[in-house]
Each structure stands twice: as structure tokens, then as C-alpha cells.
Structure 1
Amino acid sequence: MSLRAAAKAAVALCVAVLLPLQAAGPVGATPVTITNGTRFADTAGNPVQAHNGSMTKVGRYFYWFGENPYADGRFRSVSVYRSADLRAWEFRRNVLTQAQIGGVKYLKGPRIIYNSRTRKFALFMQQGNGAVMVATSATVDGSYTKQRSFTPLGEMSFGMTVFQDNDGNRTSYLISRTGAERKNLTVYRLTPDYLKVAAREHVLSAVGQEAPVAFKRNGVYFLVSADSDDGRPGQAGYATATSLRGPWSGLSDLGDATTYDSRPSHVLPVQGSGTTSYLYMGDRPAGGGPDEGEYVWLPLGFPTNRSLSMSWHKRISVDTETGKIFPGRE
């Protein structure tokens, strides 16, 4: 074979090898499809018990904290799963169990944030007696130790969330359902160690909402909540502000009259190389117990900088590397 013929053969071989790679899409692109209104299974094939939960990202992994209750709703444990793509969930461990906090029947809504000052993860939960419990761990999926239970500034709390601002101090807040008739949502600033409440920042009075979830985008704070007071799905609403101290806007509806048969549990920013998308995470309760519980995850839209939209999609496509979330094939 001549030198020219050999060179042509080498080029042809390279093209033959490269074409399949080009057809498969960019190297590292990992879009996955998530089906809504279904029971999720972990990588071992067991039901994902992460009800009414929240997420945090550490390194390349998302960590999902959620309730793993007994069939009658009593507290059994907080389970933690991790995933790099938001679809394949590996069970890590039960990080807080009934045996560790004996005497507490009901703990709800685990919310997780990291304290860079103490170098510990803080796990907040709602106690059934109107108090808030906080436990800490040096590692995200390690064993958590209860630090204390408290009522914020002496006020009973029924349903809460925590929010960590992206200001220079990573100031964190507790947002609770409060008031004699449980109609208010109160924003409290936490102490730097996240173990106490330092001050009351704002009260959204007589809104009649529960299941609060907070996030921030482009300098605007969003507070998503539900109007049902019996644990069943209801119309979700949202309010906005440019300061957690207010003023806050009035409530606007989000989704349909039952929030697609779900209750808000978390809004996850998915930050990638191309964009940051925001993923609504909702629980769909089931009468058959926790094993029958389903999940509803939908992309949030932003018609303006201070408005939200959300539509039903049976399937969504998520690419955690680029940050893109979009409707999947129905």
C-alpha cells in the first residue's frame, strides 16, 4: 500500500470511530427521564422513602432527606439517598431513628442546611407538639445527634421550612406556620450556630397556608405554600419579596386546584454549565401507607422576575450537567 493510500485509510478509520460518538451527543451530557405521579425505587429496587423531604448538593451528589414513617404515620426514621443525576437513587442510611430520640412520636418534614461556621449539617424537623427539633452531623449522610427542641421565641410552630440565603454570612431562616389559628407564616432569623432563633423578621398574617418552601432567584425571594390544612393536596400559592423582612406580595396561584394532586416539599435549584433551573418537588400522599406514596417533580417557569408558572407533565427530562430541565415525551 502506498503512503497516500495508507493515510486515506487512517482518516477513514478515524471518521468511522468518531461518527458514532457525535451521534450520541456531547461527551458528558447525561439527560435522564423522570416519570411523575409514580413510586420511585432506589438502586436496590426498594421504594424510596423520602416523603416530605428536602435536598442538598455535596460535591457531585444530590442528597435527598425524607420521612420513612410507620404505616400509622408515627416517626420511624429519616432516610437519606444520593444521586448524581436525580433519577438513580442509592440508599445511604437512616441518619436519625426513633431509638436515637426516644419519646417523640411524630417528626415531620426533614429540612437540611450546612453551617460553614460550625462545619456541621443541621437537620430540622417539625415535632407533633408544636416545637422544632434540630440535629447535627459532621457529614451529610452520617448519624445525626439531636441538639435541642424549641418553640421559636415561645411561639408554637406547626409546619416549617428552613432557608439559607446566599449573602456573605450565609444567614439562615426558619419559616413556620404560627398563630392561634395557625393562619400565619412567620419568618425567623436563626442564630449563627443554627440552634436557636435570633429574631422575628416578618409575619405574613392570615394567609391560611401551610407546607412552606422558600428559594431565591435573581435577588427575589419566593415563598411557595399550600392552602390545605389537613395534609391533603390543595391549591399552591406563592408570594415574593426583595427582602425577607418584606414587604411581601399577596398570594398568587401556582399550578391547578390540587397542585396536580401533590403538596410542596422542596424547590431544588439545578445549577449546570449552561443554566440554573428550578425543580418543584411535591409529595402525593397515598392511603396505603408510605410504600404507596408517589412523587411529583415539575420544572418552574418565570414569566417575569417576580412571577412563577408550573404546568403538568407526565415526564420530565433532567440534565444535571447543563442544568436544563424540560418536558419529556408524554
Structure 2
Amino acid sequence: MRRVYAILVALCCALAAALATAGPAQAAAQTITNGTQFSDTSGNAVHAHGGGVIKVGSYYYWFGEDRNADNTFKYVDAYRSTDLKNWEFRNHVLTQSSASELGTAYIERPKVIYNASTGKFVMWMHKENGVDYSEARAAVAVSDTVDGNYTYQSSFQPLGQYMSRDITTFVDTDGTGYMVSAARENYDLQIYKLNPDYTGIDSLVANPWVGGHREAPALFKRGGVYFMLTSAATGWNANQQQYATATGLAGPWTAMTDVGDSTTYNSQTAYVLPVQGTSGTSYLYMGDRWGNSFGGTVNDSRYVWLPLTFPTSTSMSMSWYPEVSVDTTAGTIAGTSATYNTLVGRSSAKCADVPSQSLWQGVAISQYTCNSGTNQKWWFKDLGTGYYELMGRGSSLCLQENSASVTQENCTGATAQQWSLTTSGSYVLVKARASGECLDVSGASTANSAAIITYTCNGGTNQQWTRGT
């Protein structure tokens, strides 16, 4: 009996030890909605703007900007996830009190890399004085742990002579570290080799696109080819992204080539993340839809994540998807294809419209002359229950029924955001699940900006709609 008891105790202890040392379970595939603010596992907004990601063990750690209301530096925040959707807040890893020169500053585009020789995590960032952009300096902080408190080192202009603004880092397969930053008022984009401990600049490797006026660099390697993805320099407003390739960081580099649409789906590059798994490696474009571009602040910004595809070893493409499915275990990323339609009122021949192409939640929907704008395009997302979500192409927000209005809101799956479609001759009635009332042009108005509401279904032409293209 004692022997059996001893065996049982030993087995229990072994199981407890195994559980204590086991890492997180394999992550399941997750669907991420594009063009939205993300929430962490505590329900708070994720502030990792202009950020970058490093994988340590089974976790992806995401670092980014968390700013004050006046856009000055508040924190660099760190989050972690195994599946790239469920983000746990870990720490304000750098704060205003980390160094005297951070009391009033702009700190932008923090990127963390690991130095295997020193065992240190090294953060590079763009630093300004918090008043204007006259300093144009790079800054460095280090930590013994990935999500610990980072010790601020210093800020400087690379090699004591070059301006340094938008910034990224890259560690090559041989362990050599690199930093890329926009120089000469953003007209040059320079590639630097880091010193052995990654805390300083060793040398200037290349300045391949002199006068190109590029910023927001992201550097990654696929096979034996290096890709540099950047945006033009247009402030907070989105523009056409471009990329170039080379087989060595010193070049020669190709000329820049357009990728995505003319505004990169209303986003700017933050980072490109390789996601490696059992089925190979996929590449995730991580972009910011800056809140400043639609009347807000950095902390109002939304995230745009899209799969990158590679028609050839030296070419790249990017398409819009309202949702992206990420499987970090398999290393696969896939976009959800969507068809967007207009909703055209029978009585007015006008389109359901988000006024002024607003990206804000709470904006009331009205009708306006059809103009093919993304603020008049809707994805009828089939929920598989006989109901649909109507998600705006421009805002990524969902049509919601309220007591006196129909607005666009963050998509939540609530019944107030679910609609059924009932055919009425050549037209459809769009019925709210919550009330059973029909989508209606108030007062049967034919005027621009007339409110769209829900009202008791009555067969009126102001409740009849066509789905256009």
C-alpha cells in the first residue's frame, strides 16, 4: 500500500512540475476585424501605435506608442499574445519618468530586438523635444526582460551627423543588427549597421533612395531577398505605400514599386511581422490608421492588418480584406473576401451614406447622391442565422438601430446591429432584428442628408432599397 501511495505521490509531483514548466497551449486560429481599435484582455484599448513585435518563446510581444491628449509621449506599452488577437497588457515599459529628457517629448515607432550575445532586449525609437520636430534623434533603452522596465540610455543623431526620424530595426539571420531611419527632413532613408551590443551605430550601410521623401520604414527578409516597405511623407494622412528589394542590405536596391491602393487602405506602415508555423511562414502587414487624420489623436488610431503575398521572389502585393484569419500555430494568414454594395433608396435614388466619410462611431446615417465613395459601400456579412451585419467599407463600423436614429458603431455582434433582407418585387426591405422595423428614409424625403431611420414596415417606397455595386 505504501509503495502504491508513494508511486501516486511521485506521479502527482511529476504532473505538477510538468504543468508548472509548460508553456501556453497551442493557439487556435483567430479572426481579426480590420480598421478598428483593438481591446486587450481587460477590455481596455490597446495603445501600441507605430509599434513593432518580437517573438519570445510562444508569445508575441507588441510594443507601441501610448500618448497624452496633446500627442506628447506618455508611455511605451507592451502587450503579449499567442494568437495575435487576444492581447494581455504587460507593462508601461518606458515612461516620462524613465529619463529627464522624456518629461516632455515625442517618442515614436519603438522597436525592440534581442541581442543573443548580451542577453539584453534593446529598444530603438525616434525622439523629439515634444514641442517641434527640430531634434530628429534616435534613442535607445535596454532591459534584461522583454516586458520589464527599460533603462533609457541616450538620444543622438546617428554617427553624430544624420537626422533620424521614422525608424525601424532588423536582425539578420547571422545575428547582425540594423537600424533604418528617415534622414535629411525625410528625403533620405538610410540603413545603418548596429554595434555588437545593438545600442549604437557602427556604420552607414546604404542610402539607396536619395531624395525619395520616404518614411515609416519596415524591413524584412524572405528567402534571400530583403524587402523595404515605406510610405511617402504626408504627415498623418495616408498615401501610396511602396517597396523595394535587394539581395544584400548594401544594395543595389531596386526602385520603389507601388503596393496596395492609393492610400494603402487608409493606413501607414508600422511593421511587417513574419508568422512562422508548421505550414511555413506568412507575412503580416501591420499599419496604423492615424486618429489625427480624422480629427482625433494618436490614441484614437485604428489598426489595419493585412496579409502580404508574393507573386515572385522579388515582388509583393497587398489587398484589402475586412477580416483577417491568423493561425500562429500553422503560420498562415488569410483574408476574408467581401463584396461591397450600395443601398439605393427607391423613392429618392440616393445612397445610404456616412456623412463626410466620417470614421467616428455614433455618426448618424443619411442619404446622399450616389458617388461610389467608400462611405456608401457596405459589406452584408452573413451571420449564418438569417441575419446580416452591414459593415462600412470606409469606416469598418457596423450599421446600428437606435431609438431615433441609425448610426455606425463599433461592430459588437449585438442584435441592434443585425438585419434581415426581405425581397419585395425588385427591391429589398432591410429589417432590424431588435425591433422588426424597416430601414426608412425619414419623411419619404428625396433631399440630400435626409435621415435614415427605422420605422414600422408599411410597404412605402422610402423603405424599398436596391443593392448596387
In structure 1, C-alpha distance between the alignment counterparts of 2:302 and 2:285, rounded to whole Å: 14
In structure 2, C-alpha distance between the alignment counterparts of 1:327 and 1:30, rounded to whole Å: 16
1:182 positional shift: 2.7
* 1:200-259 alpha-carbon deviations (Å, 9 max, x no partner): 111121111101110000110000000133132111000100000000000000111111
The structure 2 residue matched to 1:144, chosen from 147, 150, 155, is: 150
Structure 2, unpaired ranges of 5+: 1-24, 129-134, 339-469
Task: Tell me the SS of whatever aligns to 1:122.
Answer: strand
Task: Tell me the SS of whatever aligns to 1:195.
Answer: coil
* Alpha-carbon RMSD: 1.3
Q: TM-score, normalised by structure 2?
A: 0.63
Contact kept, 8 Å, 1:228 with 1:235, in 2: the verdict is no
Contact kept, 8 Å, 1:237 with 1:252, in 2: the verdict is yes
* 1:137-162 alpha-carbon deviations (Å, 9 max, x no partner): 00000000011212111211121111
The structure 1 residue matched to 2:275, chosen from 266, 270, 278, is: 270
Give 2:253's aligned amino acid. Answer: W
The structure 2 residue matched to 1:166, chosen from 154, 173, 177, is: 173
In structure 2, C-alpha distance between the alignment counterparts of 1:175 and 1:182, rounded to whole Å: 12
1:288 positional shift: 2.3
Q: TM-score, normalised by structure 1?
A: 0.89
In structure 2, C-alpha distance between the alignment counterparts of 1:29 and 1:150, rounded to whole Å: 41
* 1:80-111 alpha-carbon deviations (Å, 9 max, x no partner): 00001000000001000001123331111101
> 2:107 aligns to what?
107
In structure 1, C-alpha distance between the alignment counterparts of 2:186 and 2:88, rounded to whole Å: 37
In structure 2, C-alpha distance between the alignment counterparts of 1:172 and 1:29, rounded to whole Å: 30
In structure 1, C-alpha distance between the alignment counterparts of 2:325 and 2:42, rounded to whole Å: 23
Task: Tell me the SS of whatever aligns to 1:103.
Answer: helix
Q: Does 1:183 align with 2:187?
A: yes
The structure 2 residue matched to 1:193, chosen from 162, 179, 197, is: 197
> 1:133 aligns to what?
139
The structure 2 residue matched to 1:153, chosen from 148, 159, 162, is: 159
Task: Tell me the SS of whatever aligns to 1:300.
Answer: strand
Give the aligned length.
301
Contact kept, 8 Å, 2:225 with 2:245, in 1: the verdict is yes
> 1:31 aligns to what?
29
1:289 positional shift: 2.4
In structure 2, C-alpha distance between the alignment counterparts of 1:320 and 1:329, rounded to whole Å: 20
Identity among equivalent positions (%) equals 49
Structure of greater relative contact order (alpha carbons < 8 Å, 6+ residues apart): 1
Task: Tell me the SS of whatever aligns to 1:153.
Answer: helix
> 1:315 aligns to what?
323
Moved runs in structure 1, 4+ residues, more than 6 A?
Answer: none
* 1:8-39 alpha-carbon deviations (Å, 9 max, x no partner): xxxxxxxxxxxxxxxxxxx9571110000011
In structure 2, C-alpha distance between the alignment counterparts of 1:126 and 1:307, rounded to whole Å: 29
Give 1:200's aligned amino acid. Answer: L
* 1:256-298 alpha-carbon deviations (Å, 9 max, x no partner): 1111000100000000011100000000111322442100000
Q: Which moved more, 1:157-166 or 1:246-255?
A: 157-166
Q: Does 1:202 align with 2:206?
A: yes
Larger Rg: 2
